[in-house]
Amino acid sequence: MKTIKLTKMHGCGNDFVIIDYHEYEKAGMKMDELAKKVCDRHFGVGADGMIIPNCEQHDKTADISWYFYNSDGSTAQMCGNGMRCFAKYAYDNKLINKKSFSVQTLAGIIKPELLDNGLIKVNMGKPILEDKKIPFWGERKINVIDREFDITPVSMGNPHCVIITEDDPMELALKYGPAIEKHEYFPEKTNTEFVKIKSRMEIDMRVYERGCGITLACGTGACASVVACVLNNLTENKVKVNLLGGPVFVEWQGSKDDTNQDIFLIGSANYSFFADYLL
């Protein structure tokens, strides 16, 4: 039997198992297999995803990189809540010696910053709205089960389908999220956000995540939702996003006429526990 050390963290309830690279090597398993094992909520630790820091193999333009896996063993290009947890973990464990640094991800270089108030601000880069780069092949209306929805497809390095609604976002996520995730419009599947406008500075959002299902929070989903709201002239450029696990703040100075602006995600990252895990 083998034992590895791991750390459990969460951002607004979106939870992750973080494993140092040398501990991963001790496990003697492929990363996707390890992710499915430790993320299992019945037979493992339980998490929405697994993160493994990589201090050695990364582009010279970045300070560090990561390996990120969903609970089903699939990889994800980016995860905003996971990035906040990763940033705090990397700094606290002296993998990085500065509070503002760059991380190489499958979505490109992401720049988190640990703020003096304990929150983490992440430059999530520029939203991608070009259909073929999302990727998205379809119309701005989607038919699933017994409903037709107006949609705004957005990529934050990973694909999102944002739906503005006056109905209960959670009920819609539970009923329609699985079908939209695998809809033919999205060749790489999609995360789906159901958004209810509370004011021009506040929205409620519920998400069905690609490869995870219903989660308490989704950072890239919060960003994609605000982009969609701004493009549809429903909110201002700084918005409080109420997720099932708590609030985050999203800032985007973009508009219909200028989408080439970075988007910033601000929120908490918290430790749950440290453990020796028996494989």
Q: Could you give the 3-state DSSP secondary structure of residue 144?
A: strand
Neighbours of 163 (CB within 10 A): 23
Distance CA 86, CA 214 (A): 21
The single residue of 79, 85, 161, 229 carrying the catalytic annotation is 79
Token pair, residue 257, equals 């006429």
Token pair, residue 10, equals 């969460």
Distance CA 29, CA 31 (A): 6
Residue with tokens 């819609």: 172
The single residue of 85, 161, 212, 218 carrying the catalytic annotation is 218
- 161 noted as active-site residue: no
Q: Are 82 and 68 in contact (CB under 8 A)?
A: yes
Q: Are 190 and 180 in contact (CB under 8 A)?
A: yes
- 12 noted as active-site residue: no
Closest-CA residue to 111 (of 124, 95, 92, 127) = 124
> E-assigned strands of 140-211?
141-144, 147-150, 152-155, 159-164, 191-199, 202-209
Neighbours of 36 (CB within 10 A): 20
Which amino acids are annotated catalytic? 79, 218
